[in-house]
Amino acid sequence: MRRGLLGRLAAVGVLAGVLAPGVAPAAAQECRNTVSFDRWLADFKREAAAAGISRATISAALDGMTLDRSIIARDRRQTFFAQSFLDVVQKLATPHRIKAGTRVMQRHKATFQRAEREFGVPASVITAFWALESDFGAGVGKLPVLRSLAALAYDCRRGELFRGELMDALRIIDRGDLRPSQMVGSWAGELGQTQFLPSHYYKHAVDYDGDGRRDLFNSPADIIGSTAAFIQHLGWKRGQPWLEEVRITRDLPWEEADIAITHPRSRWAQWGITYVDGKPLPRDNMPASLHLPMGRNGPAFLVYPNFTQVYLQWNQSLYYATTAAYLATRLDGAPPMSKGRGPVEPFGLAETRELQRLLRRAGLYDAEIDGIMGAGTRAAVKAAQIKFGLPADGYPTSELVQRLRRL
């Protein structure tokens, strides 16, 4: 997860599994550091030198570095408020972003065409991520990334992960892409207008404008090419869809509605699913999953391997991934999504916590009582719906809660 994005998600109250990179179990939040920061930093400098980082880079980046305890505190207290999927889409996939994204695609049309030829990734997909991550550079973050990474690498909670990120940040400097003073970004260490972790920047950024540097802060060409290269690395399948809104019937095998379950698109067509305009689905063997973010009465999508294998690697939040994929379809000219077939009951933090307690009491849920309607909670809801003979779409209802209370 990225910061420009992280702060905005917290501000609008997005939940459903949104956390910064490599979030550790809750127990790790109580760990204690056993050596001083200065001793740790001296050890890290020696490790960096042994890894081939130049003395000049180590000195420029780390000499005089002090511990920012506010970064550690921020990492350990990550909390969010729940909103519905439709609320998230309304706040993130805005008309302004669609208009701005359309202008960006037109302004850099030749570069986007080159990127699609070389990496297979459409302009709309790159542009949607660019919009959500930083609003095309307006929100890249304002914190010194090296200091943030040093604090997170020192802290016992996720030190090993961020030790590697700090090392790759030094490699970026050593390669000549950025100076230490240019490494300004999020509290969690992401860099540039599409918010790459340093490891992603070092391994996947490309010099697309030919100036000898990989600059994801100021070069639109480098931003476009590097984002396309990274998406291709995640497993993008050229020429294949990622998400399409569909119209569902009132009588489906609801237990099949799960992004972990795939069927040929012809099977979904046999079950009566069509495009939202009523046109039939192709009766082909394209693997697809039925994704119901708000259950059988909310919006419905068919999602494809480009969604499950790429979008959910870019960000594990189901709501973020779906919003990014939907925004890309809007940039390609798709109409606004429907609100579904009927009213959907809201489940906020308090309601979801009660639901999780009831599911745990029923022996169907053994994860944290956190109020997050994430994948684990949805799987438990689905198991409870099957148990009670209710439509097993993985989204809770008051009827399910009442059944659980009576157990």
Q: What is the pLDDT of residue 343?
A: 84
Q: Please name the residues in contact with 38: beta carbons below 8 A apart, sequence gap of 6 or more.
A: none
Please tell me the CATH code under which domain 3-79+139-234 is placed: 1.10.8.350
The alpha carbon dihedral of 249, 252, 258, 263 has a sign of negative
CA 16/CA 317 separation, integer angstroms: 6
Helices 85-92, 3-12: axis angle to 10 degrees equals 120
CA 388/CA 276 separation, integer angstroms: 31
Find, among 183, 179, 213, the residue nearest to 196 by Cα.
Answer: 183
**Strand positions, DSSP E, 173-283:** 184-185, 243-247, 263-264, 274-275
311 within 8 A of 321, measured Cβ to Cβ: yes
- The token pair at 343 is 């009213």
CA 205/CA 172 separation, integer angstroms: 10
Mean pLDDT on 77-86: 70
Q: What is the pLDDT of residue 342?
A: 80
Give the start-to-end residue ranges of the domains of the chain. 3-79+139-234, 349-405
Q: What is the pLDDT of residue 187?
A: 93
- pTM for the complete prediction? 0.90
Q: What is the pLDDT of residue 98?
A: 98
Express each pLDDT in 16-68 by its tens digit: 434 444 444 444 556 888 899 999 999 999 999 999 999 999 999 999 999 99
